[in-house]
Homo-oligomer: A and B are copies of this chain.
Amino acid sequence: MANKLSQYYAPTLKEAPKDADILSAKLMLRAGLIRKTASGIYEWLPLGMRVFRKVENIVREELDKIGAQEIILPAVQPKELWEQTGRWEEYGKELLRFEDRKKAGFCFSPTAEEVITNCIKRDVKSYKQLPVVLYQFCIKFRDEIRPRFGVMRSREFYMKDAYSFCETEKSAEEWYKKFFEAYNSIFTRCGLKFKAVEAESGNIGGSFSHEFMVVAKTGENAIEECVECGYLASDEKAGKKCPKCGGKYKSTRGIEVGHTFKLGTKYSESMNAKFLDKDQKPHPFIMGCYGIGITRVVAAAIEQNNDENGIIWTKELSPFDIHLITISEDEKVLAQANLLIKEAEAKGLTVLWDDRDKQAGMKFKEADLLGLYNRIVISPKTLKEDSLEYKARDSKDATMWKLSNVKTKLNDLT
């Protein structure tokens, strides 16, 4: 059952709202992917939601593959736990604090090291139960003083956060590597050009970290790459540490979409979270944490892939596989459209059908704005040639597909 654009809640805009301050935000608003509810707080509309779920599913599949297990931690977290690590004071005003009706202190989770460490401290007593590796998709809140760049630096956002608890340094490093590789698979599967750079650990803490950067001219971070040995670092890191080879850096721009941290025992020690080794001696868990900004990935994909007409989705993230445009209400056109949809769906391809009674030019313009990976046009003119017109969003040229050949051609899109 194709989704008809006439019945689809994808309200497009000719002009982006004035306060949209970055290309991806402008395009997401214009294409009806998101809307702003309040400063730094957004609604995700159906087209945006489909991309969101695609990213989420890729992340889930890759983390399940390495043996991480899914949980959900609370968004509303008790003050007591944040006091144990000192972050209740340290975190600053970005931590949204409030009281419940009984005047107990809580915060809206911007990250979850305290709560997860408390879980493991409570449930895991012995080295035999280790490693424990968990992840969640959960809404987060960071009360930015100046929310900007649309969902890129919003206050409310969705993050996948994962945590590993290990017995030994060796095991902790193995898990760090597994996540590192899973992240490579995730961003590769999303169809994005990205680089993993060595980075500083910031207010999460820990001894070692990498940032995963989507390459984009408009990125707010610098990616420093040594021209001699190819060593990659964030600009902050590059300022403190030269590549071993002593070579020079060249700089490109990137958008941070993931961050892996080797935490060590920072949280387990401050929260007194320990396990017993085989000689019944207590040790603090050796931790790692691993984040991916799900909502950020969607915006970064757009920053990387667009042209003057709109979004260019990668094949993997395209909200639907095919944008079908019919021109005229001609019976033959409609019949051919229904047949195409049937054949596409039989191959597992999803279709958004622009069935509206609008001018062809306007339909083409909107198709470019929405940026679905494949576009197919059926009109009396194409049918006169026993054909339909196919165009990939990232290509300039359309080609004609003979109707007799459509099934085969659709195979190439799967």
Contacts and interface: CB of A to CB of B under 8 A. Distances in A.
A44 B119 CA distance: 11
Contacts of A364: none
Interface string A9-44: 101000000000000000000001001011001111
6 contacts: A9-B134, A35-B119, A43-B72, A44-B71, A45-B71, A46-B134
Q: Taking the full assembly, how many copies of this chain does it contain? A: 2
Interface stretch (A73-81, A177-185, A187-195, A324-332): A73-81
Contacts of A32: 123
Given A9-B134, A77-B37, A72 B52 contact: yes
Nearest to A141: B76
B49 A70 contact: yes
A346 interface: no
Contacts of A70: 46, 49-50, 53
A325 B35 CA distance: 51
Interface stretch (A92-100, A210-218, A256-264, A282-290): A92-100
Contacts of A98: 96, 98-99
A396 to B, nearest CB: 32
Nearest to A130: B7
A127 B93 CA distance: 45
Interface in A105-155: 106, 108, 115, 118-119, 122-124, 128, 131-132, 134, 138-139, 141, 143, 145, 155
Interface in A286-325: none
A7 B67 contact: yes
A8 interface: yes
A41 B76 contact: yes
A72 B49 contact: yes
Nearest to A38: B78
Contact of A43 (B67, B71, B131): B71
A38 B8 CA distance: 41
Nearest to A116: B43
A46 B69 contact: yes
Contact of A100 (B46, B52, B96): B96
B156 A123 contact: no
B155 A76 contact: yes
B69 A44 contact: no
A69 B134 contact: no
A236 B124 CA distance: 46
A9 B132 contact: yes
A101 interface: yes
A7 B43 CA distance: 38
Given A46-B71, A96-B101, 4 more contacts: A38-B74, A41-B74, A44-B71, A75-B156
A143 B101 contact: yes
B156 A37 contact: no
B69 A8 contact: yes
A77 to B, nearest CB: 7
Nearest to A165: B9
A101 B145 contact: yes
B73 A43 contact: yes
